[in-house]
Structure 1
């Protein structure tokens, strides 16, 4: 036996909710990191700017010559940091480096720096990313002219380390909250699915033939449509079981009569000593067995028609050709009984969707009823219409009173005086018609007398 792959609804809901939280958690992590980095950069940039101004304050001019007077302690502060590498440079108006590093990242994409302007920009020095503050110190009011470019830079190790620590300080509580939310989701989903567990327990406790509706009290609104469909299915199933029970009871009742007759005639034949009486009993037995055989055959056909509802496979058929073939098969048998069978096709196209075996069974029942209860003529007609196609089986017999047109479709219903029929012919016809979406109606037969059974089939889907 192959293993059925079943998935827990509770597990699916929890996993999907967690998968929805995962990208949100990653997004919040990214936002936290870049937000922390932004504010840390702002703080460190202000510190870098202060150092740049402090270095600019040490620039002096003597007899038109620019120089930088940096005490030893201040020089150590400009060159030392616990985590980052600090560097600086001072360039005189002639472009000569008078203090600090000779190699300093240039102002990328900058057309120049105006006197008194301060710029903070990114660069690369010795293969590392650095942040640099540049200030153009004007020499107005001194014995020199032009501007002195003062630059102070640092590496970004400390900034990144602080951003990482700040991000972890935010993300770790977020992770704990996410785990707590996952636990709450798992608990909430379990509580939310509790009505399904109770419904399962109610259904598993039922007996096999308990088809009463499932109670809706206490059921969540989301389950109401589902339970309504279950109750609708249970109602249809209850109706089908009741109809099947009535059918079985009626079938048993119908079979009981011929079986009792056969038994009584057999006992009479065994008890009598006269050959004529025994012969008469055997004739009655043969007639009863024929009646019972006909009834069993009809019951089997009706059971096969009912079973075909779930396996019906409709194919495109030519209605004219199908009815013509049935007429040809029945014509010789009918002539032996003195009944004439005719066929007429009206219209060129009588295409339809159907099951050929079931449709043949339907025509067989109609023709059998017509020759059994009809007169001397049977006419089979196929007519194409704008709404579909009509099949008509008419006879010139005594017909059926209009007051009984509805009752004759009820299983085991017989007209007065009918002792040989099973009462299932028109029931089978109606069941087959319903399987094909067709409608059965009764009307006057040949020449306004007798009975005509009309079956209207819808147009086939294009």
Structure 2
């Protein structure tokens, strides 16, 4: 299980430790460079000072062999750290030691004639500056132990690292508390949600929230709103469906009672015919309810395929009632064999079948329904036309809603056919257009993309 709290703590602790390490490294390098620069300047100054004292004859040295003695008191060791670093030697140009400080080694500090050099004498490394005095015939060598330099730098670093290590536990505690307080709005929101009832879809309080949490709260409120809308639609759908099913079922029951009670053969036959019609209507309503539910509850992306119009129309014709599909429906297509569309076949068939059934229900018995296919630019249009009463212009935008039947309703309609067609076209990216024909009746147009335009 992943924890945001743990992740934040680890990131903050890691980044803080990394910053400390980088700072220590930078201070180490800069301190080392600065110490070397300062101490090198001191070496140079000390060597020149001794050379000046020799030139002014304030220090007397014997140039004879074996005359070396303690001549420079300023380089004696004191009791304070780092103050005994310098050792001084005075060598003749012929190579004999003629003077040295008390703690200077007997061995020559460097073989370099002048300037800076680094050497090892008796197992100890030295940084040496040499000044050559030609007039006196001597070389002045002043050396600094590199071990003491390194000790100085390491003590500086210890002075930084030790307090840092002592502060780290306190810093960790501060980070823990800070992260906990920073995440408290999330805990408060989780606590609020856990105490809510399942049907409580009120929006969460969105005022005075941290800007990092506000998007999550707004998204949750949006989700609550969508769920509330879906629930309202389901309530309406259930109420309308119950009402629409109640009507034909009540009719079937009434006709059945008439058939059972009647001894008149004509009345008995008419009652049975009405029962058959009621069952057909109920069956069609149930099928439409199932189709609409499948369209609205399936959130997966439609699988678009390239299909021919002829194959699609044959599939739709096969699903229509034979009595209507063969006698009153006329299918026309301009170059039908050449038409190919990129659609979800089931959705387009569903939309076409419901439009044709709707047209057959509203068209007069003496007139037929025409289904035409035509190509327009990069689209293919399916036109379903009837000679019925049409739809008032004010109601054209409303009849695609569920259970909206309009004023010119059919006795066998349920107000779902156009809603199913609209939902199917929305799912696969097509459009449904309704318009009244000048010569009377309604024209429904389904527009989808041609297959070659999708490449």
- If the length of structure 2 is used for normalisation, what is the TM-score? 0.80
Residue of structure 2 equivalent to 1:116: none
Give the secondary structure class of the aligned counterpart of 1:221: coil
In structure 2, which of residues 178, 181, 184 is the aligned counterpart of residue 188 of structure 1?
178
Give the secondary structure class of the aligned counterpart of 1:454: strand
The reply to whether residue 137 of structure 1 matches residue 136 of structure 2 is no
> How far does residue 205 in structure 1 lie from its aligned partner after superposition?
1.7
Asked if structure 2 preserves the Cα contact closer than 8 Å seen for 1:413 and 1:423, the reply is yes
> How far does residue 251 in structure 1 lie from its aligned partner after superposition?
0.2
**Whole-Å separation in 1 of the counterparts to 2:21 and 2:338:** 67
> How far does residue 371 in structure 1 lie from its aligned partner after superposition?
2.8
In structure 1, which of residues 333, 354, 357 is the aligned counterpart of residue 343 of structure 2?
354
Residue of structure 2 equivalent to 1:438: 430
In structure 1, which of residues 27, 34, 38 is the aligned counterpart of residue 29 of structure 2?
34
Give the secondary structure class of the aligned counterpart of 1:201: helix
Deviation digits for residues 255-311 of structure 1, max 9, x if unmatched? 112222333344444555666655554433332222111110110011111123x11
Structure 2, unaligned runs of 5 or more: 100-104
Residue of structure 2 equivalent to 1:25: 20
How has the CA–CA distance of structure 1 residues 461 and 379 changed in structure 2, closer, same or farther, with 3 Å as cutoff? Answer: closer
Residue of structure 1 equivalent to 2:93: 93
In structure 1, which of residues 375, 379, 388 is the aligned counterpart of residue 371 of structure 2?
379
**Whole-Å separation in 2 of the counterparts to 1:128 and 1:390:** 98
Alignment of 1:256-405 (within 5 A): 256-270=246-260, 279-308=269-298, 310-318=299-307, 320-321=309-310, 323-326=312-315, 329=318, 333=322, 338-345=327-334, 352-374=341-363, 375-386=367-378, 388-405=379-396
Alignment of 1:60-79 (within 5 A): 60=60, 69-71=68-70
How has the CA–CA distance of structure 1 residues 205 and 332 changed in structure 2, closer, same or farther, with 3 Å as cutoff? Answer: closer
**Whole-Å separation in 1 of the counterparts to 2:124 and 2:307:** 86
Give the secondary structure class of the aligned counterpart of 2:176: helix
> How far does residue 368 in structure 1 lie from its aligned partner after superposition?
1.9
**Whole-Å separation in 2 of the counterparts to 1:321 and 1:366:** 18
Give the secondary structure class of the aligned counterpart of 1:173: helix
Asked if structure 2 preserves the Cα contact closer than 8 Å seen for 1:323 and 1:380, the reply is no
Q: How many residues align?
A: 437
Asked if structure 2 preserves the Cα contact closer than 8 Å seen for 1:137 and 1:148, the reply is yes
- If the length of structure 1 is used for normalisation, what is the TM-score? 0.79
Give the secondary structure class of the aligned counterpart of 2:213: helix
In structure 2, which of residues 125, 143, 151 is the aligned counterpart of residue 161 of structure 1?
151
In structure 2, which of residues 416, 421, 431 is the aligned counterpart of residue 429 of structure 1?
421
Structure 1, unaligned runs of 5 or more: 1-5, 114-118
**Whole-Å separation in 2 of the counterparts to 1:327 and 1:263:** 32
In structure 2, which of residues 198, 213, 224 is the aligned counterpart of residue 208 of structure 1?
198
Pairwise CA RMSD = 3.9
Residue of structure 1 equivalent to 2:102: none
Asked if structure 2 preserves the Cα contact closer than 8 Å seen for 1:362 and 1:432, the reply is yes
**Whole-Å separation in 2 of the counterparts to 1:323 and 1:332:** 17
Give the secondary structure class of the aligned counterpart of 1:151: strand
Asked if structure 1 preserves the Cα contact closer than 8 Å seen for 2:47 and 2:130, the reply is yes
How has the CA–CA distance of structure 1 residues 366 and 151 changed in structure 2, closer, same or farther, with 3 Å as cutoff? Answer: same
Deviation digits for residues 380-437 of structure 1, max 9, x if unmatched? 2132324x43322223444334343233222223354522122211110001111122
Asked if structure 2 preserves the Cα contact closer than 8 Å seen for 1:319 and 1:351, the reply is yes
The reply to whether residue 229 of structure 1 matches residue 219 of structure 2 is yes
**Whole-Å separation in 2 of the counterparts to 1:61 and 1:342:** 129
> Does 279-288 or 295-304 show the bigger shift?
279-288
> How far does residue 173 in structure 1 lie from its aligned partner after superposition?
2.0
**Whole-Å separation in 2 of the counterparts to 1:368 and 1:334:** 12
**Whole-Å separation in 2 of the counterparts to 1:394 and 1:29:** 85
The reply to whether residue 10 of structure 1 matches residue 2 of structure 2 is no
How has the CA–CA distance of structure 1 residues 261 and 129 changed in structure 2, closer, same or farther, with 3 Å as cutoff? Answer: farther
Alignment of 1:243-262 (within 5 A): 243-262=233-252
> Does 370-379 or 269-278 show the bigger shift?
269-278
> Does 242-251 or 319-328 show the bigger shift?
319-328
**Whole-Å separation in 2 of the counterparts to 1:348 and 1:430:** 26
